[in-house]
């Protein structure tokens, strides 16, 4: 295979960067790759569809592909999906999975089923959300996050990121156009800072949004960042651009620096909020700011007032996330009255604010908890079904 020729083709760079993972290859990339093997371009598109629409376990199942090509693919590009090693089912239907990647590394992904929401004309619709990881561990040392305690183990490839979604879609019977959900959302809010693995994350988005694959609308994908300013600006220029969420969690420079030590290195609020202000939003789109409420730390009315000032002039909404009590970190959860008070202050200031309902509290609710447990940081007496 001529590497020079391949690198000039769309999608093949990320394919090479991901160590030749067939799950990382774009539809166009598949066309170019199979042409370089002497096949037709459309054979490549068939291979892409077999993976991204049908989630085939092996090339042998791709009956639409000529047998000789199936054999070549099996020998040269065997399919290795992330494998669900452990699965924990909450009483509220949330399923947390620990997925094993091909080198034995593990990441967490969460299935959040069946939230009922009001659709057009007041119709009740159902929404399913998948939360996935972009890195194994994380290099960003947020003080309220268990994943931070793992450090960065490694970046995931685009195929490993998209593969989490496809594995969960298959596992939970959410096939495109069928299955129990009207609407599938994917949020990059699991382990890792997506903007520090930018190329692979964006390639995974393009894979998931391809019409011949899962065909997720980009507006149903959300990338959450701790605030990597340069990448936020670049993200705004992407042709396939999901929604953006910024994990803010503080109302003053010192507070944010203490909770998220990456803050000052990124230029503080001035740089972060300038990037937010200049972010090119679509009509009716709002930038999401996430705010983990920690009792006695960032949950006072004064905090809410400062938050209102900070976000002035930004078409924003705020998701309030009362701290999930877990092992190893000693923050406290604010009372429901305090959460309500904080929300009321934001609403009174004209800022849409929502309280995120805690999900899966009985199954290691905090991101990173499964991995910390697996790494032997603690034991919890719970059986995986
Ligand atoms: S909150 Fe996100 S960015 Fe911060 S340490 Fe955890 S995984 Fe990394």
> Which helix (H) or strand (E) element contains residue 201?
helix 198-209
Tell me the three state secondary structure of residue 304.
Answer: helix
pLDDT of residue 271: 98
Locate 77 and state its tokens: 């590009």
CA pair distance 367, 355, nearest whole angstrom: 18
Q: Is the CB of 90 under 6 A from ligand 1?
A: no
User: From the CA of 125, how far away is ligand 1's center (Å)?
Assistant: 31
- Domain ranges (residues) in the chain: 3-76, 83-374
What pLDDT tens digit does each residue of the chain (385 aa) get?
A: 333 344 445 567 667 666 789 999 999 999 999 999 999 999 999 999 999 988 899 999 999 999 999 999 999 999 999 999 999 988 888 899 999 999 999 999 999 986 665 655 565 656 789 999 999 999 999 999 989 999 999 999 999 999 999 999 988 888 655 444 558 999 999 999 999 999 999 999 999 999 999 999 999 999 999 999 999 999 999 999 999 999 999 999 999 999 999 999 999 999 999 999 999 999 999 999 999 999 999 999 999 999 999 999 999 999 999 998 777 788 999 999 999 999 999 999 999 999 988 776 665 556 777 776 766 665 544 433 3
pLDDT the model gives residue 385: 33
Please tell me the distance between residue 260's alpha carbon and the centre of ligand 1 in angstroms. Answer: 9
Alpha-carbon gap, residue 22 to 224, rounded angstroms: 26
Distance 97 CA to ligand 1 centre (A): 18
pLDDT score at 347: 98
CA 73, 51, 107: angle at the middle one, nearest 5?
105
Say what the pLDDT of residue 381 is. Answer: 45
CA of 138 to the centre of ligand 1 (A): 6
Q: Which ligand 1 atom lies nearest to the CA of residue 139? A: 8
pLDDT at 379: 54
This prediction has a pTM of 0.91
φ, ψ of residue 60 in degrees (nearest 5):
-60, -25
pLDDT of residue 172: 85
Ligand 1 mutation pick, 148, 195, 225, max ligand atoms within 8 A of CB: 148
Fold match flag (3-76 vs 83-374): no
Q: Given this structure, which CATH class describes domain 3-76? A: mainly alpha
Q: Could you give the CA distance from residue 278 to residue 268 in angstroms, rounded to a whole number?
A: 16
CB 138 within 8 A of CB 155: no
Strands 83-89 and 95-100: antiparallel
CA-CA-CA-CA torsion for 35, 38, 39, 45, nearest 10 degrees?
Answer: -20
Catalytic center residues: 108, 367
Ligand 1 contact via 334 beta carbon (within 6 Å): no
Side-chain-side CA neighbours of 204 within 13 Å: the count stands at 31
pLDDT value, residue 68 = 97
**Superfamily of domain covering 83-374:** Aldolase class I (3.20.20.70)
pLDDT tens digits, residue range 19-34? Answer: 789 999 999 999 999 9
Q: Whose CA is nearest to atom 4 of ligand 1?
A: 142
Residue 366 near ligand 1, beta carbon < 6 Å? no
């Amino acid at each position: 295979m001529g590497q020079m020729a391949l690198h000039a083709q769309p999608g093949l760079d990320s394919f090479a960067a991901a160590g030749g993972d067939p799950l990382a290859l774009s539809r166009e990339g598949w066309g170019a790759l199979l042409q370089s093997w002497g096949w037709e371009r459309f054979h490549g598109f068939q291979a892409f569809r077999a993976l991204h629409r049908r989630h085939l376990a092996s090339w042998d199942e791709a009956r639409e592909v000529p047998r000789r090509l199936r054999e070549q693919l099996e020998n040269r590009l065997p399919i290795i999906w992330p494998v669900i090693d452990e699965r924990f089912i909450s009483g509220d239907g949330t399923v947390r999975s620990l997925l094993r990647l091909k080198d034995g590394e593990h990441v967490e992904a969460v299935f959040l089923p069946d939230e009922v929401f009001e659709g057009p004309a007041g119709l009740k619709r159902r929404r399913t959300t998948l939360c996935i990881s972009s890195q194994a561990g994380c290099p960003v040392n947020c003080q309220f996050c268990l994943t931070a305690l793992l450090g960065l183990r490694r970046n995931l490839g685009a195929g490993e990121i998209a593969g989490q979604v496809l594995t969960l879609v298959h596992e939970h019977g959410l096939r495109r156009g069928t299955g129990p959900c009207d609407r599938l959302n994917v949020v990059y809010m699991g382990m890792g800072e997506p903007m520090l693995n930018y190329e692979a994350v964006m390639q995974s988005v393009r894979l998931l949004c391809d019409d011949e694959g899962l065909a997720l609308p980009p507006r149903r994908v959300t990338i959450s960042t701790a605030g990597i300013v340069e990448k936020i600006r670049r993200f705004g220029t992407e042709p396939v651009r999901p929604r953006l969420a910024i994990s803010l969690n503080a109302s003053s420079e010192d507070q944010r620096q203490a909770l998220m030590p990456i803050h000052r290195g990124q230029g503080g609020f001035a740089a972060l909020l300038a990037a937010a202000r200049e972010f090119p939003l679509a009509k009716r789109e709002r930038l999401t700011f996430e705010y983990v409420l920690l009792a006695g730390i960032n949950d006072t009315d004064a905090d809410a007032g400062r938050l209102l000032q900070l976000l002035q002039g930004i078409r924003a909404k705020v998701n309030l996330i009362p701290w999930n009590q877990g092992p190893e970190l000693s923050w406290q959860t604010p009372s429901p009255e305090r959460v309500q008070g904080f929300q009321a202050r934001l609403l009174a200031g004209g800022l849409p604010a929502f309280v995120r309902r805690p999900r899966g509290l009985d199954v290691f609710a905090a991101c990173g908890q499964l991995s910390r447990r697996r790494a032997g940081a603690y034991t919890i007496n719970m059986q995986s079904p």
